[in-house]
Structure formats: C-alpha cells, structure tokens
Amino acid sequence: MSENILVEDIGNEYKYGFVDEVQPVWKAEKGLSRRVVEAISYHKDEPAWMLQFRLKALEIYQSKPVPTWGADLSGLNMDEIYFYAKPTEKRDARSWDEVPEEIRRTYEKLGIPEAERKVLAGVGAQYDSEMVYHQVREELQRLGVIFVSIEEGLKHHEDLFREYFATVIPPEDNKYAALNSAVWSGGSFVYVPKGVKVELPLQAYFRVNTAELGQFERTIIVVDEGAEVHYIEGCTAPTYTTDSFHSGVIEIVVNQGAKSRYTTIQNWSHNMYNLVTQRALVKKDAYHMWLDGNLGSKVTMKYPSSYLVEEGARSDILSIAFANTGQHQDAGGKLIFAASHTGGSIVSKSISKGAGRSSYRGLIKVYEGAKHVKVNVECDALLINEESRTDTYPYMEIEDDTATVGHEATVSRLNDEQIFYLQSRGLPEDEAAALIVRGFIEPVAKELPLEYAVELNRLIELEMEGSVG
C-alpha cells in the first residue's frame, strides 16, 4: 500500500519532504482497536498497570465526540491510520553509530548530530513510533539528570514515572489526550534534580517517515526545586498525498523556584494533522515559558497551558503561527491562575498567507481567591494577501476582582509603503516582505537560541517566496 502513495511535488518550499528508504520492522494493522492497543503494549513489554491504563483510555477516547469548536477535523479518518510503526529493534541508542544507517542519514541531513556536538546538552530522536537515539552529556548524567525515552523512563525509573505520568494531563482531559494515553509511543522522560541548572538546551527531534502513520509521543519533564532546563522540540515529515497524524501529550512539572522552557518549532509537512496537548504545572515561585512556533501541518490545534498553582508562580506563553494556503493554524494558549501573586502573559503573533487561516484561541482563568494576579494578553495577526484569514477567540474567566488583566489585539495587512521603503533601499520585494514578517515576530523570535532564530528566519523566507506582487 505505502508503495503506491505518491510524494507530492510542492517545489522546493518544504525541503524536508523527502522519503527515506526505511521499512518499519513491525507495523500495527491499520485503524484503532483494542487489539492494536494490546499489541503496542506487548511490543513495549509493559507492566500490566500500563496496559490497563491504555485500555481504559481507549474507552474514554471512544466515548468522547470529535470536537467541532475548532479547526475542521472531518478529513481525519482513524481507519486509514497506522497507530504504531517500529523502525528498528533497538531503542535509545547511545551512539549514532548504533542507529541504522538509513535513519542516521536522515538525522544527519537534518543537522541533528552536528547541533548536538555544538549547542545542545542532549538529543533524543524519534523515528516513526520509537525513540531511536537518546543521549545526554556525561557531566549532566553524573549530576543525576535523566534524559531518556519515555519507555526507558517507565522501565528503569518506574516509581518516579508513576508519580507524574498522567497527573498533569489525565486521559479524561480531551479526546486526543485520551487517544494518546491509549496508544502513546516515544517521547522523552526528563528529570532534572534539585538545583541542577542545565545550561544548554535538550532537544527532541521527531520524524515521521511511514505514510499514513500517526505519531503519539508522550513526554514528561520534571524540573525539581531550583533547577533549570530548556527543552526544544523539532519535527518534520515527508510530504505524502495522504494525511498523517501527530498527537502528542506533554506534561511538565516545575517545582518550587525552578525555571523551565519548552520550545517547539513545528515544521511538519502540509499533510499533517497536529493535535497536541501540552501543560505545565508551575509551583511556588517557579517559572515556565512555552515558546510555540507552528509553521507546518495541514491543521494544528495546540494551546500550551500553564497552571499556576502556588504563590509566586509565573508563566509566559509565546506563540508564532504561520498559515499558508491549505493550512489552518488554530493556536494560542491557556493560563490558569489558582494561587495568589501569580502572573503571566500570552503573546501571539500569527501570519496568514495566500488562503491560509490562523486563529488565536486563548483562555485566561483566574479562580476566586487567587489574589493580585497580573496577566497580559497580546495577539497580533498579519495578513499577507487578500484571501488570507484570521480569527480571534479570547476567553476570559476572571473570578477575582483583584486581578489586573490586560488585553490587546491587532490585525494588520502587509503594508505597501513598508515594502516600497525597503525595496527603495535595494531589497527585492520578496525579501522586503519576509523582513517585515520577521520584524513582526521578532518580539517572540528573540527569545529563541540564536541557531533556532536563524532557522526560523530561513523557514519564513522560504514560506514568503512568491508571496507578493
């Protein structure tokens, strides 16, 4: 079947659309069933409680309707999706030499091993359904930093794993969190012990190669008291004419006085449904930042959320969405204030190009009794062409009147005067337009590590080619 699927020719816009000559060593039958869930659990050699958890989650998934309040999901057909594809027998290779050559070459093309040597503290690489590589710098291992696949986390750190797994996002949370809970595979298990500051980022890279595959990674990050970590997630896939599906669950616990950041540069091919639930629990005087960049996919529904559950907790959510023709980026964020003297912000920048559509969807909730909460929301939309579209759905539930809440929203169009001004200094029209877009997202992009900011700029330049005139 997969041999018959043609790779769509989309010119050079999406440069990661190549297909690797890799056949999975084992692939579940198409569609979702109890048998498939059991098979996944069997292949992972899991304890019985996990299989029970999965089966229960499957029931929850089946009992929940497909959400209709957001992006159009009617094209997503679960019967046409493979829920598990094992790329190789060996999980969590510690050296790239142990990764099958074809797979390794893909990551080399993507520049992962090189980045690992230069600017990262550790790398996890997921290929289809499994983490094929996982390594963290030795000095961090000695300090007790755990950075392994979620499966290894369950196997070797079961107590710690059980303490956190599904506590931040239970299967009941939403239909796709339930689905992930039933069929999860891959993702990282990260534990940063008290007081340990991981200076360089940890990166996980997700690649889906098998056509019509769903990827359901599950990540747990625990940042213990006073510790610091920055986790970066990147992703690409070949451009098939049939759709693929990615539905991750990311649970983060930021303990007292700790600081964490989770950065996503989502660059899936334009045939991907990307429905992700990610949530952080932020404790006393702790801080968490979500930096969410959504450039790829056909449909994205993704609203990183932070629950500020103890005094002094703070969180910022920075979001960039770029929707080109054929894409709907439904993104934003949620900040839930359940303690006094907590604060945070959401800054959302969306760009819609061609017939692309971006939506900002956000929730600010301040519980009664959470005193002196300070929160600010800013969402700016930039429309490149006449047919480009944007919508804003800002929800506010403020139950305590000591809260200070700011909200600002703007919609602007690519400005001809700006283009002419830049052009009159020598920049070609496309470059001028790309530069304006880069300037538009700069307040968010400047928070990225340099290498990622450069990559983001490059991606935006590619997306902006042939955009005007």
Partner 1 sequence: MVNQLEIRNLHARIVDGETILNGVNLIVPKGQIHAIMGPNGAGKSTLGKIIAGDPSYEITKGDILMDGESILEMEADERARKGLFLAFQYPVEVPGVSNANFLRLALQAKQGGEVNMMEFYGKLQKALKTLEWDESILTRYLNDGFSGGEKKRNEIMHMMVLEPTYAIMDETDSGLDIDALKVVAKGVNAMRGPNFGALLITHYQRLLNYIVPDAVHVMIDGRIVTSGGPELALRLEEQGYDWVKELAATAS
Smallest distance, Å, CB 351 to partner 1?
12
Smallest distance, Å, CB 463 to partner 1?
17
Of the pair 244, 457, the CB lying nearest partner 1 is at: 457
For the chain, the maximum distance between any two Cα atoms, rounded to a whole number of angstroms, is: 68
| Residues contributing to the site for partner 1 (CB under 8 A) | 415-418, 420-429, 431-432, 435-436, 438-443
DSSP alpha helices (H): ranges in 5-96? 34-43, 48-63
Q: Provide the 8-state DSSP code for 128.
A: T
Q: Specify whether the backbone of 315 is left (phi greater than 0), alpha (psi in -120 to 50) or beta.
A: beta
Asked whether the beta carbons of 448 and 460 are under 8 A apart, the reply is no
Read off the amino acid at residue 228: E
Smallest distance, Å, CB 446 to partner 1?
9
How many CB atoms within 10 Å of residue 391?
A: 14
Smallest distance, Å, CB 227 to partner 1?
33
Of the pair 398, 432, the CB lying nearest partner 1 is at: 432
Angstrom distance (rounded) from CA 262 to CA 81: 28
Of the pair 76, 384, the CB lying nearest partner 1 is at: 384
Angstrom distance (rounded) from CA 194 to CA 261: 16
Q: Which of 112, 91, 90, 123 is nearest to 203 (CA)?
A: 123
Q: Which of 155, 168, 174, 170 is nearest to 66 (CA)?
A: 174
Angstrom distance (rounded) from CA 349 to CA 144: 38
Q: Could you identify the residue written with the tokens 């052009």?
A: 423
Smallest distance, Å, CB 417 to partner 1?
5
Radius of gyration (C-alpha) of the chain in whole angstroms = 21
Of the pair 67, 428, the CB lying nearest partner 1 is at: 428
**C-alpha distances in angstroms, 86 versus 24, 197, 215, 269?**
5, 34, 11, 21
Smallest distance, Å, CB 360 to partner 1?
19
Of the pair 258, 444, the CB lying nearest partner 1 is at: 444
Of the pair 2, 418, the CB lying nearest partner 1 is at: 418
Smallest distance, Å, CB 451 to partner 1?
17
Of the pair 311, 378, the CB lying nearest partner 1 is at: 378
